[in-house]
Amino acid sequence: MAAGIQPRVLVYLGALLARWVAAGGPYQLEVNISTTGSLPNGTLYAAQGSQVDFSCRSNSRPSPMVEWWFQAPHSRNEPFGNNLTVSCFTLLLMSRNLQGNYTCSAMNMLSGRHRKVTTELLVYYPPPSAPQCWAEMSPGLFKLQLTCRWDGGYPDPDFLWTEEPGGVVVGSSKLGVEMLNQSQLSDGKKFKCVGSHVVGPESGASCVVQIRSPSLLSEPMKTCFTGGNVTLTCKVSGAYPSAKILWLRNLTQPEVVIQPNSHYLITQNGQRSTLTIRNCSQDLDEGYYVCRAENPVGVREVDIWLSVKEPLNIGGIVGTIVSLLLLGLAIISGLMLYYSPVFCWKVGNTFRGQDMNDVMVLVDSEEEEVEEEEDAAGVEEEDANEREELPKEIHKHGHIHRVTALVNGDVDRMGNGLQALQDDSSEQQSDIVQEQDRPV
Ligand SMILES: *[C@@H]1O[C@H](CO)[C@@H](O)[C@H](O)[C@H]1NC(C)=O
Ligand SMILES: *[C@@H]1O[C@H](CO)[C@@H](O)[C@H](O)[C@H]1NC(C)=O
Ligand SMILES: *[C@@H]1O[C@H](CO)[C@@H](O)[C@H](O)[C@H]1NC(C)=O
Ligand SMILES: *[C@@H]1O[C@H](CO)[C@@H](O)[C@H](O)[C@H]1NC(C)=O
Ligand SMILES: *[C@@H]1O[C@H](CO)[C@@H](O)[C@H](O)[C@H]1NC(C)=O
Ligand SMILES: *[C@@H]1O[C@H](CO)[C@@H](O)[C@H](O)[C@H]1NC(C)=O
Ligand SMILES: *[C@@H]1O[C@H](CO)[C@@H](O)[C@H](O)[C@H]1NC(C)=O
């Protein structure tokens, strides 16, 4: 019996042994992840939004159970898909949260042996918007700093600055910042920055800056009254990068930069600067002022002449002179009337003798006008008419003659003569004309 049992046991054990021996592997694990590229350290990367195929193969008897595990950064390792027994799968749209370590493990269910392979997969994405570039004055050093920014991508892009046109390389860096000294700069020159990203557009993305020296606009001269204030204005246009604006006095060489204090007020609003000089004084403030605008591309200066004057009341001066002249004229006329009526008569006579017809015609026509207007519009209008006529010298002489004639006959009038002339000579004359009209 024992012999009968023994073979069965042996067969069973033999079968077990045979299965044990037959259960091979898993041997080599073949992990294949179809991605955009790989890094020198073996890490793979895929572009965001792209499709990634994963496959894992292994030789084993019987076929192994294959599982994929995923570990996001700073997270626990978790099975990727429940009890995934297929060895291949595809991620259609890679997103940032799918970046991490992918582990394929294969287990021989018979022998319980297992193997696993871990692959790091990074998800790259280019910056979402176009690069931006600008030029600025480097502080301290009088150099031009070119800066190119292209933020928001992973990993960081590379930058290449070139001169345009021509493409002469200025520099390339991860930072995007280049320093240029003045010998490399000229008005209107262009510089181009090309940003390149490992999963960005193939030709890169670019921006261009054009540097310009400043232009100045200002008034050439200004006037200030002693004790008053004056504001000089200086406007910069076209400067790129923005110009530094300085105010100077050129009293000495080199010129002196004006520092703001209680006397000088300097304000700058964008590329427009004003210099206000308070309490102007001729000794201190009259002269040339210089507005200087400078950027690394160029320097421009403009001279402004400031003249300081005493405050004058021009109206008062003119009025005084006119009054004095009138007074003098009146006094002379009065004296002439008083002392030498004959002289006056003679002057009148001589004049009339020279050009009697003309005078007569003019006087006559004037008197006719006066009569007509008196009828039509009355005395006031007639007075106005007389005043308008006054500047004509010929009339004056004609009237003087008549005044003399009347005064000679009327002693009372003579006393009033001087006073009347001073007050308003034209009024008196028109009176006389009226009086004379009646006898004629
Ligand atoms: C491989 O290189 C990339 C980029 O330099 C880095 O982010 C990553 O951590 C590296 N991976 C390993 C495992 O060292
Ligand atoms: C993948 O694993 C390595 C090793 O543990 C780790 O250094 C690395 O940061 C991980 N990568 C990611 C993307 O989590
Ligand atoms: C996979 O399935 C088996 C049985 O079908 C189950 O016992 C096991 O817990 C499952 N594993 C996971 C991770 O869901
Ligand atoms: C300006 O830069 C160029 C190129 O970088 C260099 O050859 C030159 O010597 C520099 N000149 C000065 C004055 O620094
Ligand atoms: C000049 O400016 C000062 C300060 O702004 C002001 O106090 C003063 O009244 C100004 N003088 C004149 C004449 O406008
Ligand atoms: C100041 O500038 C003016 C105008 O350019 C010039 O005529 C004058 O000589 C300069 N004065 C000095 C001291 O340099
Ligand atoms: C204005 O200037 C004069 C001399 O330049 C000075 O005597 C006077 O005190 C100043 N006035 C003011 C208000 O600063």
The pLDDT tens digits along the chain (440 residues) read: 444 557 677 667 666 666 666 667 788 888 999 987 999 999 999 999 999 999 988 888 788 888 889 999 999 998 876 555 567 888 999 999 999 999 998 888 888 888 999 999 999 999 999 999 999 998 876 799 999 999 999 999 999 999 988 899 999 999 999 999 989 899 999 999 999 999 999 999 999 999 999 999 999 999 999 999 999 999 999 999 999 999 999 888 888 999 999 999 999 999 999 999 999 999 999 999 999 999 999 999 999 999 999 987 666 677 778 788 888 888 888 777 777 655 545 544 444 444 444 433 333 334 444 444 444 444 444 444 444 444 444 444 444 444 333 334 444 444 444 444 444 444 444 444 444 444 43
Rounded to the nearest whole angstrom, what is the distance from the C-alpha of residue 123 to the centroid of ligand 2? 13
pTM of the model: 0.65
Q: Which amino acids bring their CB within 6 angstroms of ligand 1?
A: 39, 41, 43, 120
**Does residue 419 have its Cβ closer than 6 Å to ligand 4?**
no
Q: Which domains does the chain have, with CATH numbers?
A: 24-124 (2.60.40.10), 132-210 (2.60.40.10), 228-309 (2.60.40.10), 354-429 (no CATH)
**Does residue 83 have its Cβ closer than 6 Å to ligand 3?**
yes
The answer to whether the beta carbons of residues 355 and 395 sit under 8 Å apart is no
**Does residue 229 have its Cβ closer than 6 Å to ligand 5?**
yes
Q: Which amino acids bring their CB within 6 angstroms of ligand 6?
A: 250-251, 253, 288, 303
Q: How many CB atoms lie within 10 A of CB 176?
A: 23
Q: What is the pLDDT of residue 284?
A: 92
Distance of CA 328 to the CA centre of its chain: 62
The answer to whether the beta carbons of residues 160 and 133 sit under 8 Å apart is no
Encoded amino acid at 139, one letter: P
Minimal-distance CA residue to ligand 5 atom 10: 229
Burial of 164 (0-12, 13-18, 19+ CB in 10 A): middle
Q: Relative to the alpha carbon of 228, which ligand is closest? A: 5
Encoded amino acid at 364, one letter: D
Q: CA-to-CA distance for 287 and 230, rounded, in angstroms?
A: 13
Minimal-distance CA residue to ligand 6 atom 5: 303
Rounded to the nearest whole angstrom, what is the distance from the C-alpha of residue 93 to the centroid of ligand 3? 27
Helix axes 379-389, 411-437, angle to 10 degrees: 100
Q: What is the pLDDT of residue 329?
A: 87
**Does residue 278 have its Cβ closer than 6 Å to ligand 5?**
yes
Q: CA-to-CA distance for 405 and 342, rounded, in angstroms?
A: 10
Q: CA-to-CA distance for 402 and 428, rounded, in angstroms?
A: 12
The minimum-distance atom of ligand 3 relative to the CA of 83 is 1
Residue 104: closest CA among 30, 24, 23: 30
Q: Relative to the alpha carbon of 41, which ligand is closest? A: 1
The minimum-distance atom of ligand 6 relative to the CA of 251 is 13
Q: What is the pLDDT of residue 229?
A: 95
Q: What is the pLDDT of residue 22?
A: 63
- Which residues is 233 bridged to in the sheet? 274
Rounded to the nearest whole angstrom, what is the distance from the C-alpha of residue 288 to the centroid of ligand 6? 7
**Does residue 82 have its Cβ closer than 6 Å to ligand 3?**
yes
For the stretch 307-315, contacts whose Cβ atoms lie closer than 8 Å and that sit 24 or more positions apart, written own/partner, are 307/221, 307/222, 307/223, 307/224, 308/223, 308/224, 308/225, 308/226, 308/280, 308/281, 308/282, 309/223, 309/224, 309/225, 309/226, 309/282, 310/225, 310/226, 311/225, 311/226, 311/227, 311/228
Rounded to the nearest whole angstrom, what is the distance from the C-alpha of residue 25 to the centroid of ligand 3? 22
Question: How many Cα atoms within 13 Å fall on the side-chain side of residue 154?
Answer: 11
Rounded to the nearest whole angstrom, what is the distance from the C-alpha of residue 172 to the centroid of ligand 4? 17
Which of 218, 221, 255, 288 gets mutated to test ligand 6 (max ligand atoms within 8 A of its CB)? 288
Q: Relative to the alpha carbon of 183, which ligand is closest? A: 4
